[in-house]
Every structure is written in structure tokens, then in C-alpha cells.
Amino acid sequence: MGMSLKGKIVFITGASAGIGAATALAFAAERARLLLAARRVTKLGEVASLAMESGAAGVHSIQLDVRHRHAVQSAIDELPEEWAQIDVLVNNAGLSRGLEKLYTGKVEDWEEMIDTNVKGLLYVTRAVVPGMVVRGRGHVINLGSTAGEMTYPNGAVYCASKAAAHAINDGLREDLLGTPVRVTSINPGMVETDFSLVRFHGDSTRAAKVYQGLTPLTPEDVADAIVWAASRPAHVNIARVTMTTVHQANSLLFHRE
């Protein structure tokens, strides 16, 4: 029997689209209270409305860029009292930029990926987890990737950022041993979101080719795994879930019709 998520405060970063938005709606269906953060306020508002319609017990939205350390700390410090006791943190904010050989890659792309996927992850974790330890409850769910388990050509820095997330996830679990706080990494393979569109700086033709000839995972598939991990009995910690479409074996092997 799983744990009820009703009324639990779930903080999701990168909640305006893709896996973040799907995760918000999945927790809403479980009657959770949602703390949603993203850079794009308009998109975030749309997700917040949908979440309320889907059954959320409440929604509070924050405009936030996780790359900015002081903004992250302030956002947590300034939460209204009724939103301060975060039960579940979903570290979802992340992106890929560019698909170039390392020695010709754009430094700006590298900075954006490292600042978001590694430093942003650390900033949010550092701001939220101390409260969980004090309250004696909490769950951190990090969005990893199959890219963190196996590097692929032209993706070294993105893969490195996800390998870092992998190590941070495991290190946090070790450091929280002796507390009831749980730490999970959900590592999807190919998921059809704006991920490729962002990677190719808005080139929709190039982005569409990524998903050609195969059925990718959907954001809802990943959200389902996140909610499943969060709803396990309190003594159960799901360390890592690696999931792909049946048309993908790992970062390098795909079957296209």
C-alpha cells in the first residue's frame, strides 16, 4: 500500500512545460499542493490553472531561474508560511543546448547547461533540504538521464552535467543517511518534449528528426514514475529508475522503423 500524497507540498522546478508540467498534473490528480517554479510566467500560469482543474489542493507559482543562487535562496526563504514545509522536491529544471563535437562546441551552451543542470540543482537542493531534515520528513526526486549513464557523440557536456547529477543524487542520499529524507533519481531516455527544440535553438525540422521512426516516452510516462517513487511507504527509498521506450536500449542504440 502506497503513501497518500493528499495535501503534501510538492515543489517542482522547470514546471512550465514537458516533464515538469506533466509531473505537476500527476501530483494534482493525487490531491497534492503544488509549488511550481519556472522562468516563463505565462506558461507557468497555464500549468497552474490546469493543475487546479486536475484536482490540486492548492497551487502557488514562483518565477524562478535556478541559475541564480540568491534568487533561489530568497524564493525559499520568502515562501508564505503555509507553503514553507516542502514534502517533495522535484529537481526537474534542466536543458540541453547544441549537439556539436566538444572541440567545436559553443562555450555559452556549456555555461547554460552546467549552470542549470548542475549548479541550479545544487542551489535548489541546498535551499530546500535543510528544512526537510529539521522537520524529519521529505523526499528529493532528481531528474537524471540515460545520458548520465552513457556518453554519446556530440553530447559530452550535456552527458557530463547528467553524470554530475547522478553523483550528486547518490552523494545526497549518503549524506542524509540517519534521517527519514529520501533521495531518488529518475533517469529517462528519449522523451518527446521541447527538449530537442531547445537543444537545436528552435530548429523544429531538426528537432522532429530526433523522434522519427520510433515511439518515444511521453512526459506523462516519466511523471508516472516520479509519483510512484514518491508514494512508496515511508521506509522505502527508490534509489534510481532508468526508463526508455522499447525502441531504445541506451544512449547509443535505437531502433527506427
- Give DSSP secondary structure letters for 17-28: SHHHHHHHHHHH
Instruction: Specify which residues 182 forms β-bridges with.
Output: 139
- Please report whether residue 68 resides in a domain: yes
H or E segment and range at residue 243 = strand 240-243
Per-residue pLDDT at 2 exceeds 90: no
- pLDDT (tens digit, 9 = 90+) per residue, 109-160? 999 999 999 999 999 999 999 999 999 999 999 999 999 999 999 999 999 9
Residue 4 domain-assigned? no
- Predicted TM-score (pTM) of the model is 0.98
Q: What is the mean pLDDT of residues 177-206?
A: 96
For the chain, what is the domain count? 1
Please state, in angstroms and rounded to a whole number, the distance separating the CA atoms of residues 256 and 134.
50
**21-39 as b/e: b if 16+ CB within 10 A:** bbbbbbbbebbbbbbbbbb
Residue 251 lies in a domain: no
- Asked whether residue 239 is assigned to any structural domain, the reply reads yes
Whether residue 125 lies inside any domain: the answer is yes
Domain range for 177: 9-243
Q: Which residues are catalytic?
A: 158
What pLDDT does 228 receive?
98
- Domain presence at residue 257: no
Is residue 255 assigned to a domain? no
For residue 218, give every residue at least 6 positions away whose Cβ sits within 8 Å of its Cβ, in sequence order, or none.
22, 191, 192
CATH of the domain at 177: 3.40.50.720
